[in-house]
Structure 1
Amino acid sequence: MPLIAPRSHAWLSEADCSLDAFRALVERTTDPRDHPGADAVEHNVPVYDGDRLRARAATAPGRREAQAELVHALLDGPGIVVFKGAFPDASVLDRATEAFTALIEREQAAGTARGDHFAKPGANDRVWNALEKLALSAPEVFADYYANDLIALVATAWLGPGYQITSQINQVNPGGAAQSVHRDYHLGFLSEARAAAYPAHVHRLSPVLTLQGAVAHCAMPVESGPTLYLPYSQAYEPGYLAWRRPEFMAYFAEYHVQLPLEAGDAVFFNPALFHAAGHNRSADIRRMANLLQISSAFGRAMETVDREAVANAVFPVLRRRKAEGATEDWLNNVVAACAEGYPFPTNLDLDPPVGGLAPDSQADTLRRALERDWTPDTLRTELRAGAERRQS
């Protein structure tokens, strides 16, 4: 989906939605030669072995090569990749699953449990802002979980540095109905009329501001309803106006693909990909996934996260792990998940750039705290002062 389009396509309308054109785009076969690092192509989707991908990305040239391949898959290819064994240490995943289950139970007991955007109420258990809630309730678990190198690999490939992770836990219980097909945030959360008010180049821009992901926290056979996808549908330019139309919904219902997952696998996809969580037809599988919405430094995340509180909660863990020999990459991956990596917007009267074009971000401050071995109180004071400088 090129960012430059002919003048005649500066705006999109319902008249541009053609199922025949859509079919011509999506009815193709993925060539494994286009994804040489993938270990398999299943239902048109490149599937990567997590350990092999890590080994490939262990050098700077190998990392860039792997990232370029992932970008091609997400942008011009099928729009989706699967990482098998993205979390190779089962204990990290198990501890996170226990923490997420405790959050679900706590919210159920408090009467604050919520559903999701595209499923009927009661079909699932959802924890909004699970990233912040995990950091505040179990910072050790948070650090080990978000130190994951494959999350960082694909996030920086698609979005560049300074990305912001938000997370929601979705547990679809036995009998839970499928979601309706949709595209995701940003334009996917607007009505058709509101989406049509944005020029075509914004329709092409919206997908590159966000990366969608999901980490499987249990085995997900097809009967449990893992997410349904339509490879290559992200490349259909009028898709934000088309996905609600009956003929497109019917086509998706007939031709989607569905990939079973094991605990610790992860899926990442272009947010413009047509997709929907599936129907849990199992008798006893509570299908839990951590839904990752990773936003560009230049975009707006959907959820508000108190990054200052998250950074303060996790800093003692980072400080101790550094003393115990944690690698710089491990620390940087956790910092990226904790702190705001982009210094704007700010109040330039109070927070002017010093020695460069931009003031320090929260992440800069957190990294400096680790370099200089600040106490938690010192970091807390510096983060609060920085937040106050950014206020008008």
Structure 2
Amino acid sequence: MTVTSTSSQTRWIRPEDARLPDLLEVLAEQTDLAEYPHATRVEQQVLFYDWATVRHTAADDAARRDLQAELARALADGPGIVVLAGAFEAEPLARATAAFERMIVEQRASGATAGDHFAKPGANDRIWNALEKLAVTDPGAFVDYYANDAVALAAQAWLGPGYQVTSQLNVVNPGGAGQTVHRDYHLGFQSAETCAAYPAHVHALSQALTLQGAVAHVDMPVESGPTLYLPHSQKYSHGYVAYQQPEFQEYFVAHHVQLPLSAGDAVFFNPALLHAAGTNRTSDVRRMANLLQVSSAFGRAMETVDRARVVEAVYPALLSARADGLPGRQVANVVAASAEGYAFPTNLDRDQPVDGMSPRTQAELVTDALATDLAADALVGRLREQLVARESH
């Protein structure tokens, strides 16, 4: 996975070191179809693979590994994005679409408003945890949909075995506004200041922990606002701290590419690729995509720890130690060792982001409690409320 030379000279990536000319140097590389023998064509620097052709290649174990190596190279060192054209056949796609539409109707009828990372709540239709909800709503549709080998081929190519699939259905209605440019989960969901607290090698590692995908459930002409991309931008080392800056956002608006998609097409891209959902400028197209986020098996701890139990046990002792003069840094060290310091995974129907892209963490609840000398029983109540909110159903 290539990065600009700056990251090899320092262990830290700072927002003030992000320079647009460095990004332009990365973007100067062009996608050469000759380097990707299984691809059908290159369109606006993006590689297209005809699924009707490559599915037969993927059926042979030896040929499958060669194909996956090519896909991984495209995602890491090439344009950072591939399209598997015609990946999903009409019948399983339609059955899943019907199930998703029923979920949307039920969600609207319940009065619930699904928040979004970028769009105004209620402007579009989003089904969080669509994977689990599809399985419960229509198990047969789930089997037909996820039996498709395109998802497994791409996920194994990027992450290897043991991966976990999650999905969020996103419907951008006519007139729905687009997003600002960003990178994706994990570091892409953090502020520039938070990203800068992670050493440079974590910036390179983050993009290897997830694979982003999207399955088009309807035809998506450009006017309907399919996702905007900046091919090759995943190779820019400072991207996680740069995309919030005005000059980078302005460049993206002026130079992105946008690809029309057909129902059944599947797009997979490196989460570090600079991208943004487009504005739906049509009057009649409800742009529906099943957004896939596939996670590496390796992003987990070795042991199962009930961290709420740990916090409940140590909080009174920590309050006492703080009162006796334990320095703030050491208090924070205890919180880091005991409380869950990351917002995910969670139930985004109930535990929604308020001031940013991530809900509050257990560690933040504990830190706030310490700052106000909150009684232990009151903190226990807050922790248990949060645990309930994070359950999947």
- Shorter-chain TM-score: which interval? 0.7 to 0.9
Which protein is bigger by CA-based radius of gyration? 2
Give the match for residue 246 of structure 2. 246
**What SS class does the counterpart of residue 207 from structure 2 fall into?**
helix
Residue 15 of structure 2 aligns with an amino acid whose one-letter code is E
Within 5 A, what are the aligned runs for 1:58-73?
A: 58-73=59-74
Unmatched segments (≥5 aa) in structure 1: 306-392
Q: Deviations over 1:182-237 (max 9, x none)?
A: 00000011111111000000000000000000000000000000000000111111
Structure 1 residue 26 displacement after superposition: 1.0
Give the match for residue 14 of structure 2. 13
Change (3 A) 1:6 1:134: closer
Structure 1 residue 8 displacement after superposition: 2.9
**Is 2:26 the partner of 1:25?**
yes
Counterpart-to-counterpart distance in 1, 2:7 and 2:275: 28
Query: Structure 2-normalised TM-score?
Result: 0.75
**What SS class does the counterpart of residue 208 from structure 2 fall into?**
helix
Structure 1 residue 2 displacement after superposition: 4.5
Counterpart-to-counterpart distance in 1, 2:81 and 2:277: 15
Counterpart-to-counterpart distance in 2, 1:267 and 1:72: 16
Residue 8 of structure 1 aligns with an amino acid whose one-letter code is Q
Counterpart-to-counterpart distance in 1, 2:7 and 2:243: 23
Change (3 A) 1:167 1:26: same
**What SS class does the counterpart of residue 293 from structure 1 fall into?**
strand
Give the match for residue 180 of structure 2. 180
Q: Deviations over 1:307-355 (max 9, x none)?
A: xxxxxxxxxxxxxxxxxxxxxxxxxxxxxxxxxxxxxxxxxxxxxxxxx
Counterpart-to-counterpart distance in 2, 1:227 and 1:191: 22
Structure 1 residue 119 displacement after superposition: 2.0
Deviates more, 1:25-34 or 1:204-213: 25-34
Unmatched segments (≥5 aa) in structure 2: 301-342, 348-393
Within 5 A, what are the aligned runs for 1:378-389?
A: none
**What SS class does the counterpart of residue 208 from structure 1 fall into?**
coil
Give the match for residue 117 of structure 1. 117
Counterpart-to-counterpart distance in 1, 2:8 and 2:30: 31
Change (3 A) 1:5 1:180: closer
Counterpart-to-counterpart distance in 2, 1:302 and 1:48: 33
Give the match for residue 360 of structure 2. none
Structure 1 residue 302 displacement after superposition: 4.4
Residue 210 of structure 2 aligns with an amino acid whose one-letter code is T
Counterpart-to-counterpart distance in 2, 1:173 and 1:133: 21
Counterpart-to-counterpart distance in 1, 2:252 and 2:115: 23
Change (3 A) 1:6 1:224: closer
Give the match for residue 91 of structure 1. 91
**Is 2:105 the partner of 1:105?**
yes
**What SS class does the counterpart of residue 183 from structure 1 fall into?**
coil
Structure 1 residue 15 displacement after superposition: 2.6
Q: Deviations over 1:257-286 (max 9, x none)?
A: 000000000100000000000000011000
Give the match for residue 221 of structure 1. 221
Change (3 A) 1:99 1:36: same
Query: Structure 1-normalised TM-score?
Result: 0.75
Give the match for residue 49 of structure 1. 50
Give the match for residue 77 of structure 1. 78
Within 5 A, what are the aligned runs for 1:193-212?
A: 193-212=193-212
Residue 77 of structure 2 aligns with an amino acid whose one-letter code is D
Counterpart-to-counterpart distance in 2, 1:39 and 1:186: 31
**Is 2:127 the partner of 1:127?**
yes
Q: CA RMSD in A?
A: 1.6
**Is 2:245 the partner of 1:255?**
no
Change (3 A) 1:73 1:284: same
CA contact (8 A) 1:161 1:297 kept: yes
Structure 1 residue 120 displacement after superposition: 2.8
Structure 1 residue 116 displacement after superposition: 1.4
Q: Deviations over 1:234-254 (max 9, x none)?
A: 111110000000000000000
**What SS class does the counterpart of residue 81 from structure 1 fall into?**
strand
Give the match for residue 138 of structure 2. 138
Residue 268 of structure 2 aligns with an amino acid whose one-letter code is F
CA contact (8 A) 2:113 2:122 kept: no
CA contact (8 A) 1:166 1:303 kept: no
**What SS class does the counterpart of residue 212 from structure 1 fall into?**
strand
Structure 1 residue 160 displacement after superposition: 0.5
Change (3 A) 1:127 1:243: same
Give the match for residue 276 of structure 1. 276
Q: Deviations over 1:153-200 (max 9, x none)?
A: 010110010100000000000000001110000001111111100000
**What SS class does the counterpart of residue 36 from structure 1 fall into?**
coil
CA contact (8 A) 1:115 1:124 kept: no
